[in-house]
Chains A and B, each alone.
Chain A
Amino acid sequence: MPRSLLIISRQSPWSGPSAREALDVVLAGGAFDLPVGLLFLDDGVFQLAAKQDARALQQKDLSANLQALPMFGVDDLFVCGDSAAERGLDPKVLSLEEAQVLSTGEITALIDRYDQVITI
């Protein structure tokens, strides 16, 4: 039985390569058919804000990669509701519809469920 891996992505998409490099770990896991999950926490929730414009910063737009996650077999997508609310984001209007909004208690349980975790 393969070990499950949770990636916790805490950085905004505009603070450097962290958001992309976290996503690359998830996509690689999906490509190898491994049980991986992705949680957006703290500033990581900004990756899911609507109507962002990567071109303004001459940066790669990650939204296509994010939308591709289910195609890579990654369906376990989560967002910290408190992180979103604190940052003025309506959890119901995030760019990744498949992402489940979790309370902090649910996040504790989520981390518990996975065999391994990487918090980037």
Chain B
Amino acid sequence: MSTLHVLSHSPFGDDRLTSCLRVIGAEDALLLSGDAAYALQPGTAPFNTLGTRGLNLFVLAEDAQARNLQTPDWAEVIDYPAFVELSIRYDKVNSWL
């Protein structure tokens, strides 16, 4: 089974990203939504970590746009229809509330 993990908290001063990255599996995916999109802020530790992990990484378009974050080529920008598709493509969704 594969899991789509969803984060929505900023990676700065919150341990959800760190915890998620410990338990995320090779077949899993990670969607950055809300303030979790800040993990794509260049020159930061989360950015560098994600850049080298080789994850199936997605970011919600509206959140990248609101924050003026450029999406690197190792992440895919998605809209809500694609979010729905992703939730189906992966066997289950684990939102880190």
Contact = CB atoms under 8 A, between A and B. Distances in A.
A contacts B directly (C-beta below 8 A): yes
Interface of A: 8, 10, 41-42, 82, 104, 107-108, 111-120
B66 interface: no
Given A111-B3, A112-B1, A112-B3, A119 B23 contact: no
A117 B3 contact: yes
Contact of B92 (A82, A117, A120): A117
B94 A111 contact: yes
A115 B92 contact: yes
B22 interface: yes
A104 B23 contact: yes
A119 B94 contact: yes
A42 B22 CA distance: 11
Contacts of A41: 19
Q: Interface of chain B, helix or strand or loop or mixed?
A: mixed
Interface in B1-44: 1-3, 15, 19, 22-25
Interface in B52-97: 92-97
Contact of B15 (A42, A107, A111, A116): A42
A111 B95 contact: no
A79 B52 CA distance: 29
A82 B94 contact: no
B53 to A, nearest CB: 14
B94 A108 contact: no
Contacts of A115: 1, 92
